[in-house]
Amino acid sequence: MSIDRRVVVAAFPAMALAGAAFAQGADAANTIYLDTRDGRITIKLRPDLAPKHVAQIKALTKSGFYNGAPFHRVIPGFMAQTGDAKNKDGTGGSDLPDIPAEFSKEPFKRGTVGMARAQSPNSANSQFFICFGDASFLNGQYTVFGEVTSGMDIVDKIKKGSAADNGSVQNPDKIVRMVLASDAK
């Protein structure tokens, strides 16, 4: 049996394009666009580190839960926290169950996206934060579920709270729209 080289050569570019489309689709399914009044923040989700957290974030994002949620706690040099679309003050979550901790060795650094939680390690629900800088003191104690791949300049513009008030923000900036890249129009 002989192989016609013209068929093989013609097939490779098509296979390469199909592979690129597959990779792009996989990336889009694990990429979030978080739009603020100042622009777009792109977040790469990390299901390899925290599959349950990523699944919950995706479900809440698809439902529109985060649209209008304020950045209610923003501490300069540390992080910007959001995700309380119910109470809007950091005391609320979603109607979904809390998620068990998925701690990893991934460090908290500039651009890391982690889940906020209460005292219990298994109390994460909907609130999350984006680190402005190194926060290695959180390593192994909070779940990393993503990283900002573009738009850290937009994160830096989020209205800051008072250090004396533990970052509580008066008239906070809000998430205008949060959507999975695969669902973006």
DSSP string, 98-167: PB-----SPPP-TTEEEE---SSTT-B-S-EEEESS--GGGTTTS-EEEEEEE-HHHHHHSPP--GGGTT
Q: Residue 175 has which token pair?
A: 């998430």
| Angle made by CA atoms 161, 80, 93, in degrees to the nearest 5 | 105
Cα 1 from chain centroid? Answer: 52
- Go through the domains of the chain in sequence order and give each one's CATH number: 32-180 (2.40.100.10)
Give residue-wise pLDDT tens across range 111-162: 999 999 999 999 999 999 999 999 999 999 999 999 999 999 999 999 999 8
pLDDT digits (tens, 9 = 90+) for 48-70: 999 999 999 999 999 999 999 99
Residue 167 pLDDT exceeds 80: yes
Q: How many other C-beta atoms can be found within 10 angstroms of the C-beta atom of residue 141? A: 12
Report whether pLDDT(11) > 70: no
> pLDDT digits over 68-119, tens only?
999 999 999 999 999 998 888 888 899 999 999 999 999 999 999 999 999 9
What pLDDT is recorded for position 26?
Answer: 56
Percent of the chain topping pLDDT 70: 86
> Following DSSP, what letter does each residue of 76-104 receive, concatenated?
TTTEEEE--TTTSSSS---SSPPB-----
Angle at 61 between CA 185 and CA 130, to 5 degrees: 105
Using 50, 70 and 90 to split pLDDT, how confident is the model at 22? very low
Q: How far apart, in Å, are the Cα atoms of 51 and each of 55, 57, 92, 123, 157?
A: 6, 10, 22, 16, 30
User: What pLDDT is attached to residue 86?
Assistant: 83
Whole-number pLDDT of residue 25: 52
Grouping H, G, I as helix, E, B as strand and the rest as coil, residue 36 is strand
pLDDT at 5 over 80: no
Supply the pLDDT for residue 23.
39
pLDDT at 10 over 50: no
Give the pLDDT score at 158: 98
Prediction pTM value: 0.86
Compute the CA torsion angle 80, 175, 27, 44 (nearest 10 deg): 0
